Structure 1
Amino acid sequence: MEGHDPGGSVALAWPAPQPLPPALPVPSQPAVWHGIGTVALVVAVALAFADASIVVLALPDIYTELDTTIVGVSWVITAYALVVGVGALLLAPLARKVHPTLLVGLGLALFAAASVGAGLAGSASALLLARCVQGAGAAMLLGASLPVLSALRGSRAAGMRLWAAAGIAGAVVGPALGGLLTQLLDWRAIFLVQAPVAALALVVAFRPPRVEPAVTTASSRVTGRVVAADLALACVGAASVGALFLGVLLIVEV
């Protein structure tokens, strides 16, 4: 566009610059990842609880294939429950100092690797070792998953409800799921199926918001005691079911 100044020279008039449209907000954590992370973590927690009793109906097959004793096969349940119970108590102080997300990731990695080891075990000793490692991973997962779930759901109460619901569901479904896999496939499938589930949860474990180490308060101490009590109750329940089933197995063998 042209214009004339008073001296007779020609001046160019450029159009005024238009303002840029406002930038769209870029969410740091898309809502879809919150949903995926929540579901994956809930399934992993349920699986860790289920593992306390998931092998109950597979004990006769393990007993026969690995050529072990009644006492030896009983440790398939006891070893896992014992390591989870003791490990959760020992890891409680650590969970208040280390980022919970890191503990969840490490626990899932151990759980997945040990599940593969248990599924490929060629002896009772190898199976028991894998179950101990699996229990250590489950202890890390169960102890540190509560603050992560609380961050995902927006409150400690909501995270606690989700964690408890996953634990109850896992404890209830565990024996039936193990029996179904044993009947349709093999007792080794119980462990081999768990590995990809834990691996998938591991992939999304680091997507949730960064959770800082919890400050020790009366509320957090009470929550820690509730978690420890729930884990202890689950371990005792699994041990009781296993002992009852082993008693029946022993009577049949005699």
Structure 2
Amino acid sequence: MNSLNNTINGINNSIDGINNAIYGINNAIYGINNAIYGINNAIYGINNAIYGINNAIYGINNAIYGINNAIYGINDSIFGIVKAKNDINNAICDIVKAKNDINNAIHGINNAIYGINSAICGIKSSICGIINAPSKCHGINNAFSCIDNAINGIGGIRNAINGIDGIRNAINGIDGIRNAINGIDGIRNSINGIDGIDGIRNAINGINGIDGIRNAINGIDGIINAINS
């Protein structure tokens, strides 16, 4: 009888051990399920992060597209400025040629005035020498004084022509315009520096390594499926 009781007690103890083991297994499964839940939450967070990164890449690509369009517009503007610079340089050449023509004309007028004055002096001396009468020479001198005054009026023309120097000075000021235009080269060099955007673009393309992260996450799904099975 004692032997039977001992056997029954041993069986009960074994059953208790089995129940305890099953309880431990259930606790372990509960822990695994909690771990899987945590992994799923982590995957959800990673997917949200990837979604945010993709949105950021999309925004960066749009920004690069806008920058490229801006560079295209700036290059068009520079082309227009360079064309305007060439047109201004051509106009400057025409102005310089006109300035030289004006100077030549002034030189010719001065020579003509000098010749007229010399001719009047010669005529006056010749007439007085022929008449040889002081009273008549006095009248002739008065008459020639009027001519002299008229000729001296040419001095006003000369002064007006000399005013062309003001035009000449203004024309010379075009050098300032030319220097300013040449400064456009500095703008062009600065704009060309924007081409460093390619480096930004390449760096952004490197973010496409996210596919590797995504693949790794997909691998976790396989682990979870294996555990659930």
Q: TM-score, normalised by structure 1?
A: 0.27
Q: Determine which structure has more spread, i.e. the larger CA radius of gyration.
A: 2
Q: Compare the two structures and name the one with the higher helix fraction.
A: 2
Q: TM-score, normalised by structure 2?
A: 0.30
